[in-house]
Structure 1
Amino acid sequence: MARRKDLDGSMSAPTFYGKELRWHREAAGLSLEQLVKGSFYGKSYLSDIERGERRMPSDLSRHVDAVLGRNGFFERNCEDVRKARRGPHASYFEKALEAEWRAETIELWSPCIVPGLLQTVPYARALVRSAHPAAADEWVEEKVQARLARARLFEDDHSTPEYWEILHESLITDALLPPQEMAEQLDRIVGLTERHRITPQIIPRKCGAYPLMAASIMIMTFPDAPPLVYTEASYSGDTMDDPALVKQYRKAYDRLRAVALSPEASLAKIKAAAVDYRKGEQPDRLE
């Protein structure tokens, strides 16, 4: 029997949970590979949970309880772990935030705003302030800096996911910021594209009806876990892993991509709009 490790009650809920999981696994004489066998997850996923770096999904918690004979212990407690806040991000975004850093591919459709990973400081500040007009300046800046910190994802050549972004044309041609700041926002997208960190596409304003018109979604795939879909509204978000639903969103996203301009044409459009903004002119709309 493995010797029980001391557990520090002051540690974070995910870390405490992970240490409990590791102790029970080792007490049962199981390796990471043996414990995840028969689930949809890889050993690296379970290892991250044991280190407190990932939250336990419900289906994996049920699998672990069954293998370890824990009578529902990990399933009962995984919800509390998932609710443990880490940083100033909205609680409904926590699962997507965690997944974002470990994704192999990230595909987004953004009909209303430039996605958080691509935002400049003025753009992020304008969005946070518009959503929380009475908030203190310090609180707004904390949110802005947390959003910008996510963009470190693009700085590591070895862990950067394949990132595909579909934007509606209005995000390029309808200024949310003053012209020079809009130019800087578009320059940010161009720079990431030319560094081969992202692939943008644009949905033309007058393309008619198209898939996912009423949804903003992010689809993430992983080397060691099933894919996830994240949808978001102004003050709420939902992360889904139901295979049938993920498949439906996956098909809709592929159809949306077929409607969009090519990556080359989209990049040219973004560059041209940035030039127009720098000259103080209104970018041309696609007719």
Structure 2
Amino acid sequence: MVFQPHGLSPDRSARDLFGARLRHHRERAGLSLRRLAEELNYSKSHLARIERAESLPYDDLPTMLDAHFGTDGLFTSLYELVRKEPIPRRFHRVIEIASRATVIRQYASATVPGLLQTSELALRSLRSGRPYAPVAEIEATASARIDRQARLSSQRPPRCWFILDEAVLRRRVGSAEVMRHQMMSLIERGTSPHVTLQVLPFDAGEHAEMGGSLTLYTLPDQPLLAYLEGSRSGTIIEDQDEVAELEESYDLLKAMALSPRDSEAMIRAAMEDWTPCEPPRT
């Protein structure tokens, strides 16, 4: 079987453009990925991911490519565009949907939703799922996630309703201090008139959305959309029969969850649990 390289659409993203230019110059030079990796003393697997637009270039690779191919700063210039676009393209559509939504309803079973994360928790969450990613790539992705929260403070923010499983409050991400600051941030977010927070306690028992995240997006002049997300994948649901079932599931979770006032009390109790105890005085 003849190997067929992964297709790229250079006009789709800066990552695709960088990968397409890398492949073009590599093939024009008659080099395999393995040979180019050897000549650059670079990881072949990471070069492949960059060429497929699945990973960010990092370190001094753009400069090395310009020197190797004699491209007079082409890859260095492209890298500046790539740095501003740290989100993999498979998430672009749902991010675009979220940016236009007038109402966002989300249930999170395992971790704090991105729109509510502190920068410290965002960094630790991303690192846990991508242990081999370069530090610069993790920081860029976390920064992009935090930047999207600005919409919650805009003049016309979306109406947001978040249901957090109790596990979100109890599972440590990073240090106890990171968790305490995250609980404080949740309490502050919950005071916004356009944000409602509820906690689904453990004793609520089983339900249909265990183990995943469900988000419902209301957009102007469009049917309701749903988004199901696991630890490493996400699916946009547009079929209205399926969306209706998921909306019913969300409404049931809302009924099972604590009231906003009782939810705040549980978050405050979790914050106290994450507060380090002072050592006894002697």
The separation in 1 between residues aligned to 2:277 and 2:123, in whole angstroms, is: 22
Q: For 1:87-136, what per-residue CA distance to the aligned partner results, in whole angstroms no more than 9, with x for missing partners?
A: 22232221111111111110111001111111111111111111111111
Q: From 229, 239, 251, give the equivalent of 2:248.
A: 251
Q: Establish whether residue 223 from structure 1 lines up as the match of residue 220 from structure 2.
A: yes
* Structure 1 Cα separation of the partners of residues 88 and 201 of structure 2: 31
Q: 2:188 aligns with which of 179, 186, 191?
A: 191
CA drift at 1:202: 0.9
* Preserved CA contact (<8 Å) 2:125 2:173: no
Q: Matches of 2:88 and 2:277 in 1, distance apart?
A: 36
**Structure 2 matches for 1:1-287, cutoff 5 A?**
87-158=85-156, 160-280=157-277
- For structure 1, which runs of at least 5 residues remain unmatched after alignment? 1-10, 15-85, 282-287
- What's the CA shift for 1:197? 3.9
Count of residues paired in the alignment:
199
What TM-score does the superposition give when structure 2 sets the normalisation length?
A: 0.66
Deviation at 1:206, TM superposition (A): 2.1
Q: Give 2:163's aligned amino acid.
A: I
Q: Aligned-residue CA RMSD in angstroms?
A: 2.0
Pick closer, same or farther for the CA change 1:121–1:280 going to 2, 3 Å: farther
Quote the offset at 1:220 in angstroms. Answer: 0.4
Taking structure 1 as the reference length, the TM-score comes to: 0.65
Q: Is the 8 A contact 1:92 1:238 kept in 2?
A: no
* Native 8 Å contact 2:86 2:140 kept in 1: yes
Distance 1:214 1:126 in 2: 20
Q: 1:13 Cα shift?
A: 5.5
| 1:27-78 residue CA offsets vs partner (Å, 9 max, x unmatched) | xxxxxxxxxxxxxxxxxxxxxxxxxxxxxxxxxxxxxxxxxxxxxxxxxxxx
Q: Cα gap change, 1:129/1:224 in structure 2, threshold over 3 Å: closer, same or farther?
A: same
The alpha carbon displacement at 1:235 in A equals: 2.1
Q: Is the 8 A contact 1:169 1:204 kept in 2?
A: yes
Identity among equivalent pairs (%): 31
d(CA) in 2 for partners of 1:180, 1:13: 40
> For residues 238 and 138 of structure 2, what CA distance do their matches in structure 1 show?
31
Q: What's the offset of the Cα at 1:173?
A: 2.3
What secondary structure sits across from 1:248 in the alignment?
Answer: helix
The answer to whether the 8 A contact 1:179-1:280 is kept is: no
For 1:126-168, what per-residue CA distance to the aligned partner results, in whole angstroms no more than 9, with x for missing partners?
A: 111111111111111111101111101111132x111011111
Work out the CA distance in 1 between the residues paired with 2:266 and 2:149: 23
1:216-250 per-position Cα deviation (integer Å, ceiling 9, x unaligned): 11100112211111111222211111111110100
Task: Name the CA shift for 1:163/1:276 in 2 (closer, same or farther; >3 Å).
Answer: same
Runs of 4+ that moved beyond 4 A: 11-14
**Separation of aligned partners in 2, 1:198 and 1:161:** 9
